[in-house]
Amino acid sequence: MRIGIGYDVHKLVPERDLILGGQEIPFELGLLGHSDADVLVHAIMDALLGAAGLGDIGRHFPDSDARYKGIASLKLLGEVKHKLELENYWINNIDAVVVAQAPKLAPYIEMMRQNIAETLGIKSKDVNVKATTTEHLGFAGRGEGIGAYAVCTIANKNF
Ligand SMILES: Nc1ccn([C@@H]2O[C@H](COP(=O)(O)O)[C@@H](O)[C@H]2O)c(=O)n1
Ligand SMILES: C[C@@]1(CO)OP(=O)(O)OP(=O)(O)OC[C@H]1O
């Protein structure tokens, strides 16, 4: 079994949709990025790539590449799945935490788990997503941005 870790942060700005775990969430601000800036999916992709020893999302999907402008991060997650498959890896489980002072994410967590699990072809019970505030401390606590951490375990079919 191999372990991976991912971490990402995006800035909250007006006039952008807030997409987390492939789910559009009603909020007055959205995350800024070259893609849809789905910080949760970005952390998960980095965890998966890391576990497989395949680098990070910036290496595979550079933000200088126009193909990725505005792209749904779930689509990139599907590409990451394919890259792992080519190396004969299967995904055992993912655990993640979104760090956001607002909005309240609890009502959307199950949908996020389903979106991610469906994209990866695994069960939603194997994709755990949590949310926490930082009790108004730091950039997340001031509502300047949202962060996400993810860990995963994967294994190789050949070993
Ligand atoms: N954006 C968020 C943050 C937190 N939650 C839920 O609230 C619980 C308590 O959060 P604390 O930061 O006060 O510990 C947390 O366990 C989540 O269930 C949320 O839904 N959305
Ligand atoms: C996802 C990518 C795609 O171009 O762009 P961004 O949305 O800017 O996100 P970031 O976390 O900065 O990672 C870089 C890129 O891989």
Residue 110 half-sphere exposure, CB side, CA atoms within 13 Å?
1
How far, in Å, is the centroid of ligand 2 from the Cα of 151?
19
- 34 a known binding residue? yes
pLDDT classification of 159: cutoffs 50, 70, 90: confident
Tell me what the pLDDT averaged over the chain comes to. Answer: 98
Which tokens go with 97?
A: 């935490």
pLDDT of residue 31: 98
CATH topology of domain 2-156: 60s Ribosomal Protein L30; Chain: A; (3.30.1330)
Residue 152 binned pLDDT confidence (cut-offs 50, 70, 90) = very high
pLDDT band for 88, please (50, 70, 90 cuts): very high
Domain boundaries, the chain: 2-156
Phi, psi of 113, rounded to the nearest 5 degrees? -60, -45
The tokens describing 7, both together, are 């971490």
pLDDT per residue as tens digits for the range 23-78:
999 999 999 999 999 999 999 999 999 999 999 999 999 999 999 999 999 999 99
Does the Cβ of 57 fall within 6 Å of ligand 2?
yes
State in Å: Cα 108 to ligand 1 middle.
12
Instruction: Pick the ligand that lies closest to the CA of residue 63.
Output: 2
